[in-house]
Structure 1
Amino acid sequence: MKTNRIKIVALVGLGLAVGACSKIENGFQSDNIRYKSDIIYCKRGMSLTMSDRINADGSTPPYTFELLNLRDAQTGEPAPAEFFNDYEILSFKNGMVFNAETDTTVELLNLKREVVKKPPMEFNTVSGQVIFNRASANLPLGRYKFDVNFTNARGTKLFKDLATIEIVDPSIDDMFEVTYEAATGSDALEKFTTTTAPKLSCSKVSNEGARVILKIVDKAGRPFNPKAGEIVKRGDRPMFESHVKFNPVITTDTALICDFEVAPFPLSKLVDKAGTDWGYLNYYRIPAAFAQIDGLPNNNVNPVFGFRVKMEGTYLVEVRLPSVTRVTR
């Protein structure tokens, strides 16, 4: 009995010794790290386009990612130099934000901005996000694949062809957003009646400048004439020029023209000195002498609308009033 007991103890001791000599792996490293979508779209020229984070699939943190071998998806040739060149872009200084109430001149705005040099694409080594800035306007259209090295305490693993970057031109829906559409009629006693909401549309005229040409038109597409008093402001409510005051609004026979300097426009929601949040709204009135609302005679037209232009360029924004006819004299 004593001999058997000695043998058992010896075997247990041998097992512990063997276990102590075995290498203990640190942490877990998944074989299935991935993006939510394996196609990352870059809408070139937009102020900011950002991919999803890489899903590490339960791998043990902390971990880092490294983008490797960015290449043409068809030819396999290295990505062109435009991806890695530095370009000058105008951006807000750290901690600086736009205020429509106080930033009323280009000079005051420029105190908050600076020219920085950046490549059009950056890669976040902590999250794996691919980030594009407005310098992406310099990138050639096309599809580009890349690999990623994933590193944590377990070691480094290469994931080939983890995703494809597709460089595309932004659509008008990417560049223009409607935030509000409504309208009322009002009689001489300021009795208001809801009427058909306006319909906003936008077309890009050119990539040059930073300008919005705003036209308010009747149901047949005939523009009202702001220069002749056919479009007027409504008391102290916000209008086109309330959102950016760098340059005076230009009035023509057919349009109101605003040079907004920096996108998006409006850059932020309008909050007045009393603390009222007006969002991106614009209030206008077309006097009854110049317009006829279907089924609502002798009423002023009061369109209220909001929109944002998300990148620089020259745009024509049309506000069509579907139940209004322009009256000419």
Structure 2
Amino acid sequence: MDIDAFVMAHRGTWDRLEHLIRRKGSLTGAEVDELVDLYQRVATHLSIVRSGSTDAVLVGRLSSLVARARSAVTGAHTPAWRELARFVTVTFPVVAYRARWWWLATAFGFCAVSAVLGFWVAGDPEVRAALGPPEMIERLVEHEFADYYSENPAASFAGQVWINNAWVSMQVIAFSIFLGLPIPWVLWQTAANLGVSGGLMGAHGKLDIFFGLITPHGLLELTAVFLAAGAGMRLGWTAVDPGPRRRGEALAEQGRAVMSVALGLIAVLLVSGLIEALVTPSGLPTWARVAVGVVAEAAFLTYVFVYGRRALRRQETGDIERAPDFAPAS
């Protein structure tokens, strides 16, 4: 091998790699890709030189260059603030937006079931009698329903509510591994509890208290549950109908997206928990407490639909930026 000709042919590549290594903290995305490509090429050059030359100086220079490039490549990472910003403005809202018909249908079915049960309980004394002794129902309606929101210190109550709601949402998402089949049962239990409570309060003329206490936090809290259920059922359906992609590829992408929903809902449920602990039992007028809940719900829906639609137009899927590659299939 003519070592001088080899050096002349590739010196520009080595100098460019040296320049990128010195600037590794301020590289653009394209320059990072170039750094990785040059690292691989220079590593090949080093292998060629080692096998075809005895020039120790050149081997030493290329060995040092490859080692520094390897450190720059393996040590490079996206700043945490940038990853967080992408999650908030792209990943979570676009996943929620893409699953919008699933969780909107879930919300419609849930509200329909709760309303039917509520009217049934409120209008049929025999049903109310079957639910429990009159004394127990009287205590629930007169004291226990309202006292639930103020019997514990706000901080501990907020933590308790947050953990409980997060657990319900994670449970719903976890059921997606069973094709989402258990999810309607979980939703049925929640809808039944809400409908029965509303029916009992309505039968005693206390619907104003019921909605005054449920609405401030319930709008956002239930929306989070609907989103978790919709995303979970969508993942379960992907196993049945993956579309034009391979089933494994579709499930992998959708599974990673559902995990994004799970992480995002932790923050959403924290907000609803704080509202339930601080606003719901507060001395504010009912209209003011309800307004807080309506504003929180409107803000969340606006966030999802504005950022989600914008990300979808850029053909974002909510998947991780460096998702595993798949072989093309016909």
Q: TM above 0.5, one fold?
A: no
Q: Which has the higher contact order (CA 8 A, sep 6+)?
A: 2
Determine which structure has the larger helix proportion and give its number. Answer: 2
Bin the TM-score by the shorter chain. under 0.3
User: TM-score, normalising length from structure 2?
Assistant: 0.22
User: TM-score, normalising length from structure 1?
Assistant: 0.22
Determine which structure has the larger strand proportion and give its number. Answer: 1
Q: Which has the larger radius of gyration?
A: 1
